[in-house]
Amino acid sequence: MSDTPTGAGPGPTAEPGGGTSSDNPNMAAGEQAELVETGLEVQLSEQLMKVRDRLVEAFGDLEVIGFRGELTLIVPPERIIDVLRFCRDDPELSCELLADLSAVHWPGGKRRENAQETTGWPTYETGSEEGRIELDYILYSITHNHRFRLRVSLPDVDPRVDSATSVYGSANFMEREAYDMFGVHFNDHPNLVRILMPEDWEGHPQRKDYPLGGVEVLYKGATIPPPDERSY
Amino acid sequence: MAGSDDPTTGADTPTSGAEHPTGAAEQPTTELAPSGDGDRFSVEPRHEFTVAAGEWQELPDAVDDDLMVINMGPQHPSTHGVLRMTLTLDGETVLDNQPTIGYLHTGIEKNCEYRPWVQGVANVTRMDYLSPLFNELGYCLAVERLLGIEDEVPERAQAIRVVMTELNRISSHMVWLATGGMELGSTTVMIYGFRERESILDMLEHVTGLRMNHAYIRPGGVSMDVPDDFESRVRALVKELRDKVGETEDLLTENPIWLERNVGVGILTAEQCFDLGVTGPMLRAAGIPHDLRKAQPYCGFEQYDFNVVTTDTADAYGRYLVRLGEVYESLKIIEQVIDTMPGGPVMVPDRKIAWPAQLGLGPDGLGNTTEYIGKIMGQSMEALIHHFKLVTEGFTVPEGQVYTAVESPRGELGYHVTSNGTNKPYRVHVRDPSFIHIGALPTLTRGLLVADVIAAVASLDPVMGGVDR
């Protein structure tokens, strides 16, 4: 581990969410300061710095995030297939495995998240200016034993990106899952149908704007309300 | 749910997928309601969900092409749970195999988003039910990395984690052997495998209180220290397992039927494994000595001496050899950990993260120790407040996203966890190896006979609880 200062990358960005974690009322002040400090710290191993240098050299305009020793590169959606192919074929990177492909939905606008939904009391404000879906491709190289993340940011209304199935066969199932859960359309995917939810399901359950279901109780029509509508 | 045995989903009407919902609605499901007494028990057909998969439309014309489409599963004793495979056959040769999954989808990932961080452990342990401790470990490593306390987890907790997960690996491999053996017609192997698994589950129950779904590994350590007789019992168990696994090995390794059913079946080369994301014993059977315990050690695995078992046959028999070899390597690791078991606490010292109480065995069962109850109820109001806040709200985790992976019995089990700085995960994604491996099924089974599909699927060792999550 070599502690590299934050300014090493071409403009390290704030971590996702844009949320205001400083509002957390149940944290001590000292702890708060400490978390802010460590959260923005870029600490990448020399190996990952080489990966970063190599990718930034090949695709100049990539944004770089380092967090907890993990490297994330933000790739424009239209270039993701090129970058993936480069990562797979370049002898210095040679990422044999697309280890994971998953998405995170950050809805637009301010969202009050009430911790009362389950237990506890604090209310958090999260959200960002515009809604987006972040697709994360985790690449792993068995040859060089490094792992890093490519991130693509898509609008959360009709998100579209090219399918990676031409580069990695394993992307087939992962993209189907991302389509099923987030409604991301992968262009040229061979069989983009739902995978976990039933075929006639409506909506994409892992999106944050998907309404939560309550629980029907087989007793005189009673129901348990969904977690975000419960009052204790 | 109603209508699951709908006859129209049969293989003889492959193109009926589009019309299916209306057809199903006409089924006389409402007859289930008793006549007279209101509609309290009536089953309304609007709750039906069909799984008419999209690939039905792509299937060949059975008459023109002289091909047959056979639906195998989801209710099939040899598909390891509710896996459905749509086989396109030419005679008995499999031309195409499209798996359909999702029958066991329980929305665990989504559920995690509405529970405090600590409760996530109890959720994820229910995914891959044959290796619950690996799920807990992967999740906890992710939370610890987000919290930045990876290096603060006590050595003893890490050693306990290693012993417990390696025991779990053996029990998982034993179930694989038992079910795989049974699917190929060997009930003896089934009895042997479950017998060994049972001794291991007894051990896990002795330590955690539960046979499965332990919720034992927690962010920052483990939920409680091991019992006093842990070391002696583990030593006895290791000795017992070494003998008994040897029995199974004697029975199978040179067995002509076992060889005939497994050698050369379900070949997946290293290149195919890379392309399809296949890891774990499948990749090692293809000759690639890749093991995350060696490559990216966690929980102090770098201290222990063990080999990565490989073969170069890339077939079902090679996977059998690799898994059996791994059992012996796991036993070696367990012995080493027991020999060097460090003392000390089993939870991080940070009181804002560590669960406030250690559990103890009282006259009425397992619970918070009486000394601790006496302290928070009788002596310290601050301790009571602290306990209350931490148990109800949990701790907050800094914003960020991490990916941690552990080597589960099936391959790389990854936890991709996102936090937005609150007391609950913002998103938990699980890269379950079984899910990825099911994606390799079409490649794996192409050109096999139907009976060999059983052997090939068995060699994948998919656990549908992990596939569907």
In this predicted model, what pLDDT tens digit does every residue of B187-234 receive, in sequence order? 888 899 999 999 999 999 888 888 888 889 999 888 888 888 899 999
Are B125 and B214 a contacting pair, CB within 8 Å? Answer: yes
Question: What separation in angstroms does the CA of B341 have from each of B28, B163, B166, B344?
Answer: 64, 10, 15, 10
CA dist B87 and B95 (Å) reads: 7
Of B464, B415, B429, B466, the C-alpha closest to B113 is B429
Are A73 and A63 a contacting pair, CB within 8 Å? Answer: yes
Stretch A32-54: mean pLDDT, rounded?
A: 61
In this predicted model, what pLDDT tens digit does every residue of A119-161 receive, in sequence order? 445 566 666 677 888 999 999 998 888 899 999 999 888 889 9
CA dist B105 and B464 (Å) reads: 9
Contacts of A1 in chain B (CB under 8 A): none
Best to test chain A binding among B275, B282, B432 (most A CBs inside 10 Å): B275
CATH of the domain at A160: 3.30.460.80
CA dist A83 and A137 (Å) reads: 11
* Predicted confidence (pLDDT) at residue B331 exceeds the cutoff of 60: yes
Stretch B278-305: mean pLDDT, rounded?
A: 90
**Min CA distance, B306 vs chain A (Å)?**
19
Contacts of B278 in chain A (CB under 8 A): 170
3-state secondary structure of A102: strand
In this predicted model, what pLDDT tens digit does every residue of B86-134 receive, in sequence order? 888 888 888 888 888 888 888 898 888 888 888 889 999 998 889 999 9
The radius of gyration of chain A from alpha carbons, rounded to an integer in Å, stands at: 20
Best to test chain A binding among B44, B47, B427 (most A CBs inside 10 Å): B427
Q: Where along chain B do its domains lie?
A: 1-52, 108-347+397-468, 359-392
Contacts of B55 in chain A (CB under 8 A): 191, 193
Of B101, B296, B402, the CB nearest to A145: B296
* Predicted confidence (pLDDT) at residue B57 exceeds the cutoff of 70: no
Contacts of A103 in chain B (CB under 8 A): 429
Query: What is the token pair recorded at A79?
Result: 């270039």
Give the number of other CB atoms < 10 A from CB of residue A219.
8
Decide if B16 touches A, using CB distance below 8 A.
no
Stretch B382-390: mean pLDDT, rounded?
A: 83
**pLDDT of amino acid A43:** 65
The whole domain housing A154 covers: 2-229
A-proximal residues of B, 199-228, CB under 8 Å: none
* Predicted confidence (pLDDT) at residue B432 exceeds the cutoff of 70: yes
In this predicted model, what pLDDT tens digit does every residue of B194-207 receive, in sequence order? 999 999 999 998 88
CA dist A170 and A176 (Å) reads: 11
Name the DSSP letter for residue B59: S
- Chain A residue with the nearest C-alpha to that of B50: A198
What count of Cα atoms within 13 Å lies in the side-chain half-sphere of residue A26? 23
Are B410 and B461 a contacting pair, CB within 8 Å? Answer: yes
Are B114 and B122 a contacting pair, CB within 8 Å? Answer: no
**pLDDT of amino acid B139:** 93
Are A96 and A141 a contacting pair, CB within 8 Å? Answer: yes
**Min CA distance, B334 vs chain A (Å)?**
26
Give the containing element (helix H, strand E) for B411.
strand B411-419
**pLDDT of amino acid A91:** 87
Of B102, B81, B68, the C-alpha closest to B175 is B81
3-state secondary structure of B77: coil
Q: Do B401 and A136 touch (CB under 8 A)?
A: yes
pLDDT higher for B21 or B282?
B282
In this predicted model, what pLDDT tens digit does every residue of A50-94 receive, in sequence order? 887 788 888 887 777 777 888 888 888 888 998 999 888 888 888
CA dist B386 and B383 (Å) reads: 5
**The pTM is what?**
0.81
Stretch B394-408: mean pLDDT, rounded?
A: 88
Farthest-apart Cα atoms in chain A, separation: 66
Q: What is the mean pLDDT of chain A?
A: 74
Of B341, B303, B360, B291, the C-alpha closest to B160 is B341
Stretch B411-428: mean pLDDT, rounded?
A: 89
For tokens 């931490």, name the residue: B390
The radius of gyration of chain B from alpha carbons, rounded to an integer in Å, stands at: 25
**Min CA distance, B193 vs chain A (Å)?**
31
3-state secondary structure of B23: helix
Least confident of B48-57, B267-276, B390-399: B48-57
For tokens 């409402």, name the residue: B30
CA dist B128 and B97 (Å) reads: 24
CA dist B449 and B206 (Å) reads: 44
Are B440 and B276 a contacting pair, CB within 8 Å? Answer: yes
Stretch A193-205: mean pLDDT, rounded?
A: 85
Q: For residue A24, what pLDDT band results from cuts at 50, 70 and 90? A: very low
Least confident of B28-37, B62-71, B195-204, B450-459: B28-37
> B108-347+397-468 — its CATH code?
1.10.645.10
**pLDDT of amino acid B27:** 43
Decide if B367 touches A, using CB distance below 8 A.
no
**pLDDT of amino acid B59:** 57
Q: What phi, psi does B279 have (nearest 5°)?
A: -130, -175
* Predicted confidence (pLDDT) at residue B170 exceeds the cutoff of 70: yes
Q: For residue B409, what pLDDT band results from cuts at 50, 70 and 90? A: very high
For tokens 């270039």, name the residue: A79
CA dist A208 and A105 (Å) reads: 6
**pLDDT of amino acid A123:** 63
CA dist B347 and B204 (Å) reads: 19
Number of domains in chain A: 1
Decide if B362 touches A, using CB distance below 8 A.
no
Of B303, B413, B395, B304, the C-alpha closest to B348 is B395
Q: For residue B140, what pLDDT band results from cuts at 50, 70 and 90? A: very high
